[in-house]
Amino acid sequence: MEEKLGKGLDALIRDIDEQENPNTGITTLPITRIMPNRYQPRKLFDDGKLRELADSIRENGIIQPIIVTKTDDSEYELVAGERRLEGAKLAGLTEVPVIIRSVSQKEQLQLAIIENIQRENLNPIEEAGAFQRLIDEFQMNHEQISEIMGKDRSTITNSLRLLRLSQPIQDMVLQGTLTSGHARAILAIDEEKQLDFARFIITNALSVRQSEEKVREYNPEKPEKKPRPEKAPAVPKDPYIVSIEEQLTEVLGFKTTIQDKDYKGKIVIEYKDQTEFDDLIRKLNLE
């Protein structure tokens, strides 16, 4: 399933179509029997675009069927196609064409995210929130999300950083008052000054570039620290300890150092990000 997800929603729909029925695999359901997708990442819909979609549906019908899954109580839950479903309701339809597909909760969330990204971009906060749900609810790491979504791992990481902003600033991004570029500039500001800086950007209609230039004014450079007195030359490390460090580094795949004095001390294993942390936990069999 995940291999299909990486190829795009259209590839998934073709795959489902082939498995459901050699002819079409499409049926119709009353709109009232389709429950919203509990994992839908989109919080806001553009009313103008939704009305345009409804007009198109009145004129041409629903070209591509909606994907649903059957629930335990014999009702149906939306998997993909929320905008089409909402457009159909607005157009006054009582039934819609559907493909019924058995999917896991994880796949429901993945498909909802992918459809929104491929068909109509999610707001940056909605997208970050959806990625965070994949981490929280399905224990996925940044690398796994990047593979499924077809995005660089750094893109996933930078997206998730937006959730560090306070809720009022997240709301500004959610409503489109600030862009993700503005949000990243705000993240460079000391936390207690971020909301004030966000309001300053909006009041003065600053571009992202102008906002980045203003960061220095809100974050004045701190005075240089006085140079520390030179330390005494380090005592050469015991060759045996060095050998153990090298062996641990090779076995774990992470730089490992041993701070030892008369066989008392600590072992330090270094990792750079959440993905490396997750890899380390797996190697130590702690999951």
Would you name the residues annotated as active-site residues? Answer: 82
> With helix as H, strand as E and coil as C, how does the chain read?
CHHHHHCCHHHHHHHHHHHHCCCCCCEEEEHHHEECCCCCCCCCCCHHHHHHHHHHHHHHCCCCCEEEEECCCCCEEEEECHHHHHHHHHHCCCEEEEEECCCCHHHHHHHHHHHHHHHCCCCHHHHHHHHHHHHHHHCCCHHHHHHHHCCCHHHHHHHHHHHHCCHHHHHHHHCCCCCHHHHHHHHCCCHHHHHHHHHHHHHCCCCHHHHHHHHHHHCCCCCCCCCCCCCCCCCCCCHHHHHHHHHHHHHHCCCEEEEEECCEEEEEECCCCHHHHHHHHHHCCCC
Q: What are phi and psi of 103, to 5 degrees?
A: -135, 155
Across the beta sheet with 34-35, the strand order is: 27-30, 95-100, 66-70, 76-80, 34-35
Residue 61: how many CB atoms within 10 A of its CB? 12
